[in-house]
A and B are shown apart, each in its own frame.
Chain A
Amino acid sequence: MFNIISLIFKYIFIFIIYVFILSIIRLIYLDIKGIYPIAVNNSAYLKLINRKDTLPFKVKEYYSLSDEVTLGRANNNQIVIKDPYISKKHFRIVKDEGKYYLEDFNSANGTYLNGDKVMDVVCLKNGDRISVGQVEFLFVNKE
Chain B
Amino acid sequence: MLGNNVNYRIPRNLLFIFELMTLALMFLYYKDTLNRITVIYSLTLILLVYISNFLLLRITSGDNYIFLIVTMLVSIGVIMIYRINPELGMKQILWIGFGIILFFVTYILFKRIRGWENWFLVYAIGSVILFILTLLLGRSIKGAVNWINIGGFSIQPSEIIKILSVFLIASYYTNYDKFNKMKFGNYYLMGIMYIFVMFLFLQKDLGSVLIFLSVFIALQYVYEEDRKLVLINLSILMVSAIAGYFIFSHVQSRVHTWLNPWKYIDSKGYQITQSLFAIAEGGFFGTGLGLGYPEFIPEVHTDFIFSAICEEMGIFTGIGIIMLFLILVYRGFKIAINQKYRFYKIVALGISILFGIQSFIIFGGVLNMIPLTGITIPFVSYGGSSMLTSFIALGILQVVSEELDFDEE
Contacts and interface: CB of A to CB of B under 8 A. Distances in A.
Interface of A: 2-3, 5-7, 9-14, 16-21, 23-28, 30, 35, 37-39, 58, 60, 70, 75-76, 80, 89, 92
A10 B327 contact: no
Contacts of A70: 1
A9 B327 contact: no
13 contacts: A2-B25, A2-B28, A6-B29, A7-B291, A10-B286, A10-B287, A13-B18, A18-B320, A23-B7, A24-B68, A39-B337, A60-B405, A89-B1
A6 B314 contact: no
B285 A10 contact: yes
A62 to B, nearest CB: 13
Contact of A25 (B14, B15, B21, B327): B327
B21 A21 contact: no
B242 interface: no
Contacts of A2: 25, 28-29, 290
Contacts of B405: 58, 60
A6 B291 contact: yes
Contacts of A17: 18, 72, 76, 316-317, 320
A24 to B, nearest CB: 5
A37 B338 contact: yes
B285 to A, nearest CB: 6
A93 B262 CA distance: 63
Contacts of B37: none
A42 to B, nearest CB: 14
A139 to B, nearest CB: 20
Interface of B is mostly: helix
B58 A23 contact: no
A76 B312 CA distance: 39
B141 interface: no
B275 to A, nearest CB: 20
B313 interface: yes
B106 to A, nearest CB: 19
Given A2-B28, A23-B7, A16 B288 contact: no
A48 to B, nearest CB: 14
A141 B28 CA distance: 63
Given A28-B327, A38-B340, A6 B290 contact: yes
Interface magnitude class on chain B = 35 or more
B11 interface: yes
Interface of B: 1, 4-5, 7-8, 10-11, 14-15, 17-18, 21-22, 25, 28-29, 57-61, 64-65, 68-69, 72, 76, 285-291, 312-314, 316-317, 320, 323-324, 327, 331, 337-338, 340, 405
B137 to A, nearest CB: 41
B55 to A, nearest CB: 12
Contacts of B64: 27
A39 B340 CA distance: 9
Contacts of A11: 285
A14 B320 CA distance: 8
A18 B58 contact: no
B221 to A, nearest CB: 19
B65 A5 contact: no
A53 to B, nearest CB: 11
B287 to A, nearest CB: 8
B338 A38 contact: yes
Contact of B10 (A7, A23, A92): A23
Contacts of B290: 2, 6
Closest 8 CB pairs of A and B: A6-B288, A75-B61, A10-B288, A17-B320, A20-B14, A14-B316, A23-B11, A23-B10
A80 B61 contact: yes
B126 to A, nearest CB: 32
Contacts of B338: 35, 37-38
Contacts of B312: 10
Given A14-B313, A24-B68, A76-B4, A9 B11 contact: no
Contacts of A60: 405
Nearest to B323: A21
A95 B60 CA distance: 26
B288 A7 contact: yes
Given A2-B28, A10-B314, A75-B58, 10 more contacts: A3-B288, A6-B25, A10-B286, A14-B313, A16-B18, A20-B72, A21-B320, A38-B340, A76-B4, A80-B61
